Amino acid sequence: MSDEPINANPQVKDVSQLPTRLGGSSNEDNAFPHISYNNKLNNTIRNYLFEEEEEEEENTIDVEQKIDEYDEPIDAQEIYDLISSISDPEHPLTLGQLSVVNLSDIHVKHPDLNKGYVGSVNVKITPTITHCSLATLIGLGIRVRLDRSVNKSYRIGIYVKEGTHQSENQVNKQLNDKERVCAACENPQLVKVVGRMLDTCTI
């Protein structure tokens, strides 16, 4: 990555504008709504994830059973909460703030395990500029995050939103090629960059 950001002046949304189910009201501190809410959001996510992780460690069998039986359906908002807090690789902002990730572009199809069908989670990302070379990296970050957090009965699909990228097909193909994603996850440099992006989600 060069020192010059590829998109130096992106459009930024305030965190309080983002759709969420996490955290409470954002009007507690009117002087610095952004900062206070941001902290709160991060804490809530941290607690949320921490609890989940603890549960997993305590009782692996239970978790496995849970996966098999699949009792708690997920929804688009939950997926949004998981990925909107990922950091952009070149701005100190989240994918939610940059509107790279939007709630309306997340689609969840529930599995029907009794009939033998797995479900799916499809996310369409909107790169900040049409030639953004970081689109693949952002997509990889989202995939890693969802692969780690979402129940295995959902297949994850990550695509660039139609008309928002010059090499749409190329990026889509790469992001959904299991073998390439797995190989990328064994590349120490990439793992480091993705890790930094996911730091703000405190996995």
Rounded to a whole number of angstroms, the minimum distance from the CB of residue 138 to other proteins is 21
- Using CB under 8 A as the binding rule, whether residue 111 contacts other proteins is answered as yes
CA angle 135, 141, 50 (to 5 degrees): 155
Closest among 64, 54, 23 to 41, alpha carbons compared: 23
For the record, the structure tokens of 115 come out as 């009939």
Helix (H) or strand (E) holding 5: none
- Any contact of residue 110 with other proteins (CB under 8 A)? no
Single residue of 53, 54, 62, 68 touching other proteins by CB under 8 A: 68
Beta strands 106-109; 154-160: pairing state: unpaired
Among 1, 35, 183, 191, binds other proteins (CB under 8 A): 183
Contact letters for other proteins, residues 127-156 (x by CB under 8 A): ------------------------xxx-x-
Shorter beta-carbon distance to other proteins: residue 3 or 71:
71
Is 60 among the residues that bind other proteins (CB under 8 A)? no
Q: Residue 70 interacts with other proteins (CB under 8 A)?
A: yes
Residues 87-106 that bind other proteins (CB under 8 A): none
Both tokens of 198, joined, read: 């996911």
Q: Does 182 bind other proteins (CB under 8 A)?
A: yes
Q: Please choose, from the candidates 141, 25, 140, 150, the residue with its C-alpha nearest in 3D space to the C-alpha of residue 78.
A: 150
What distance in Å separates the CA atoms of residue 186 and residue 189, rounded to the nearest whole number? 9
Measured distance CA(169)–CA(167) in Å, rounded: 6
Footprint on this chain of other proteins (rule: CB under 8 A): 67-68, 70, 111, 113, 115-118, 151-153, 155, 173, 177-180, 182-183, 186
